[in-house]
Amino acid sequence: MPTGPAASTASGGFNASVLVVEVPIALIQGRANRAGTYLANDTTIGVWGTTGRGKMRKHPGRDDDDNDGGRFTQVQRMGHQLFKTVFLPTAVKDAFNASTPTDDARRVAQFIPDALTSNDPNGNTIAARAALLTALGFTTLPDGAPLLLGDTFTNTDKELLRHVLIPDVLRFNLAAPAKGRRRGEQRTAERPAVRRRRRRHPAAAGAGAGRREVPGRLRPARQQSTGYPARAGLRLS
């Protein structure tokens, strides 16, 4: 959790629903040769998520349910957080959401700006930009924040941002040490993020000392405020 006068959290006041699936690493890693790809080695995988909704089906003379869709069609995808929000113009977002990361270099790489370098011939270097931000008061609290990398960071590749962000997938090295709570470690005192809805047992309805509650069913994923059935997916490369 961020701290300090300028600290904030976008998830404050909201509940988080989490679905965790445990599978063998070998099943995810597979046998693909990734050494010559953007993933650089065989133990690193690329992960992105998708959201799909059912195609609407209407039959003449029938009162079809609006939530009764056909095959699911992809309407959203995401790898890096805020990638579309920061870099992509509105006109290309729908096409991006319907595509796959294999198309990113051809479709959206041109929207990623050149990275600052340490040796820019026009003087627009990392050090110069850091000095400007410092002079304007943007690197100190309470109106600014310290630079993440600082004026000593060295980069000579203007394609750096495109190398990191294209394709838009999260890179996970399955051979890296695991982080987080391991099996057998003490749990925190936090309440579970996902809770079951409870309903009153019919036999205990009304006032009385015999009232009790039983677990209710989890709400189906398709019951959403949009009125459209939806499906979420996790993709690997």
Q: What is the pLDDT of residue 66?
A: 55
Residue 127: count other Cβ atoms within 10 Å of its Cβ. 16
Whether residues 152 and 231 share a domain: the answer is: no
In a domain, 53, yes or no: yes
Residue 213: beta bridge partners? 200
Residues 48 and 129 in one domain: no
Contact (CB, 8 A) for 151 and 126: yes
Show the domain range for 28: 19-58+66-112+166-176+227-237
Q: In this structure, is residue 201 part of a structural domain? A: no
pLDDT, residue 212, reads 38
Q: Are residues 71 and 143 in the same domain?
A: no
H or E segment to which residue 28 belongs: helix 25-29
In Å, what is the CA distance from 63 to each residue of 54, 55, 66?
17, 16, 9
Note the pLDDT tens digit of each residue in 133-182.
999 999 999 889 999 888 899 999 999 999 999 999 999 999 988 776 55
Reduced to 3 states (helix: H, G, I; strand: E, B; else coil), residue 207 is: coil
Specify the number of domains making up the chain: 2
Q: Going by C-beta distance under 8 Å and a sequence separation of 6 or more, which residues neighbour residue 47?
A: 79, 169, 170, 171, 172, 234, 235, 236, 237
Q: For residues 46 and 103, state if they share a domain.
A: yes
Give the pTM.
0.64
Across the range 107-134, mean pLDDT stands at 95
Alpha helices in 142-205 (DSSP H): 160-165
Tens-digit pLDDT profile for residues 206-228: 443 433 333 433 333 333 333 44
Q: Is pLDDT at 125 greater than 60 in this prediction? A: yes
